[in-house]
Structure 1
């Protein structure tokens, strides 16, 4: 992309575009937007370095966060896209890169905090990646990290339950550890976490179905159904309805009643 075009772009706008592509799970678009953000940030950084070398005032560009954040975020999202497309080695390479961002010069206190934030993200995401590709031996360490950082629990539980369904793991003990600390499904959930919570509930329903606990599976698919409606994601909603209908004969009358009432509510 030409430098003149990159200079006209705003990092925060590209982040919004990235978030939208991520929400729709359009991984090729996520990759494209991540590369655009990376190039944009590089262009800004190089221009500042040039001005600094010449002793000129640094050009002002309004951003909501320190510039280093956008550099790290572009690498993180590129890694996510590689991971979702099954390109594990490339995903690992991206994690290594945003784990160490301190090479950028002239970082102030806010910049150094961002460096620490991405170092932590890299640690969590490294474990998540290995769990996703089936390395069950790393599950205990990953769980310990999640217990130490409750803000990561929803995304982490999504990763664990999805892997359990894919690889036929038995993870009741892990789930009990989180349930005992009331960290699994909260009554109030931040809107930014609803996507992860939907996937957790949907795959938890699949897990409970595999374990032969059909009524419990219905409970989780009912939660996933409501989240799919809140997210306004029609394909998520259809998947929930299909799974719930397959479990209807095992559901209690009370569960079927809640299901019907919900459909009437949104109808």
Structure 2
């Protein structure tokens, strides 16, 4: 005799019998309707079970949530059809609870039915919009792999969501980031305009972190043009009868201002200082921008601050050291700009040969505070500062002090997993090894030994972040 097949109803009947409840008493403790329970268990055909009813029964039996989920898969495919009302909330709940096996079983069966991507896309969007970004990616990936129309908006949005998920993914390395950029970039123009703005801004910022300056320029140009076009349309709308305003993730002025800021920053990195000045002027005063809320007005003030800071940056990099006293006063009034400002001052001092001793002394206390930074952007800035200080002291025949900073830099390159910077530091140390004390040479050997033991540092990851 064949063993009786275990089904969701046989399990419920079994535990109902063991608990000593009849339908009436179980309906009372579960909060379900007795008639519904009877139709679910004894109907011919049996009434389908909703996910809410299943969860209520699970609680009444005292079992953990998701107890019968593996058996619920069958409930989603009754009568050779897919039940959207059951399958969508079920997939969402399984994703939230991490029930990967249930998800895989449902999806493998779902793909055999007509128009499965409609359901998969709705599930992905529900998860993403509720903040379950990583949980949504498996569904977006299925869209990308199975979407027959490669130029559809659904395909573009799925690519965009996967690309955007980088923000909430820890320990993403340069290679993964570059692959994500290459994968999403061709689809940016297929997105709805509000998503295009955000996609272009993220592309520009990520390419900045990858030192892809020409790509930064291109995306910044596109961002500026798109934001300008939408702004003109919004002004016309505000004067007409259209009542539905344009909605994006951030205020429109944020995208407009970043179109100029990122363009200017990329030009600065390429030594195109005069051009960078022209684009810096583009975001220096955006008070003329209409249709702003409080967040927009706050962003205008931030852009104004960035323009002042980056204006000083350009003057210093062009050798106009007469602005140094004003720059130092600005940094004192804006402590959040001190670290990036000192990087520029030390780079300029090394390039043009002026003394920065007073600058180092003036901000020595702040430099101690910089050691507490843990985020990649500021750790990278700290590395750049220390490297410039090391070069500064060595060039002024204060090699022991410079070597101390090389050792600091080596520690930071290990934290950043930055192979190129590590090689720069090793080269600088070896050139000046004869001036290193026994203690400095021991510290250097220990750091080299640490790297050899772990062998994790990337030879050319180039991970440097932040807009100066």
TM-score by length of 2: 0.53
Distance in 2, matches of 1:11 and 1:225, equals 39
Paired residue for 1:214? 399
User: Whose Rg is larger?
Assistant: 2
Local SS of the residue matching 1:228 = helix
Change (3 A) 1:245 1:127: same
Matched, 1:137 2:340: no
Of the structure 1 ranges 214-223 and 127-136, higher mean CA displacement relative to structure 2 is found in: 214-223
The aligned residue for residue 205 of structure 1 is 390
The whole-number CA distance in structure 2 between the counterparts of 1:83 and 1:219 is 30
Counterpart Cα distance in 1 of 2:276 and 2:206: 20
- More relative contact order in 1 or in 2 (CA 8 Å, sep 6+)? 1
Could you say what secondary structure the match of 2:363 adopts?
helix
Cα distance in structure 1, aligned partners of 2:402 and 2:253: 43
Which of the residues 240, 248, 251 maps onto 2:433? 248
Give 1:92 shift: 1.1
Farther-moved stretch of structure 1 (207-216 vs 4-13)? 4-13
**How far apart are the structure 2 equivalents of 1:39 and 1:108?**
22
Compute the displacement of 1:69 (Å): 1.4
Partners of 2:409 and 2:340 lie apart in 1 by: 15
Matched with 1:182 is: 366
- Shift of residue 243, structure 1, vs aligned partner: 0.7
Partner of 1:68: 253
Deviates more, 1:85-94 or 1:42-51: 42-51
Distance in 1, matches of 2:447 and 2:189, equals 52
SS of 2:292's partner is: coil
Shift of 1:110: 1.6
Question: Paired residue for 1:191?
Answer: 376
Structure 2 equivalent of residue 127 of structure 1: 312
Evaluate the alpha carbon distance shift between residue 59 and residue 107 of structure 1 in structure 2; reply closer, same or farther with a 3 A threshold: closer
Root mean square deviation of aligned Cα: 2.3
Q: Which residue of 2 aligns with 1:24?
A: 210
Whole-angstrom distance in 2 between the partners of 1:241 and 1:266: 12
The CA distance in 2 between the partners of 1:51 and 1:5, in whole Å, is 23
Distance 1:129 1:30 in 2: 18
SS at match of 1:104: coil
**Candidates 1, 9, 13, aligned match of 2:199:** 13
Q: Distance in 1 between matches of 2:450 and 2:319?
A: 40
Q: Which runs of 5+ in 2 are unaligned?
A: 1-185, 453-468
Superposition TM-score, scaled by structure 1 size: 0.90
| Deviations 1:45-89, CA, capped at 9 Å, x for gaps | 3443344344223355441x3221121122111111222222222
Q: Does 1:40 align with 2:229?
A: no
**2-side partners of 1:140 and 1:255: how far apart?**
35
Query: Residue in 2 aligned with 1:152?
Result: 337
Q: Which residue of 2 aligns with 1:116?
A: 301
> For the residues of structure 1 that align with 2:254 and 2:320, how far apart are their CA atoms?
30
**Structure 2 Cα separation of the partners of residues 50 and 229 of structure 1:** 54
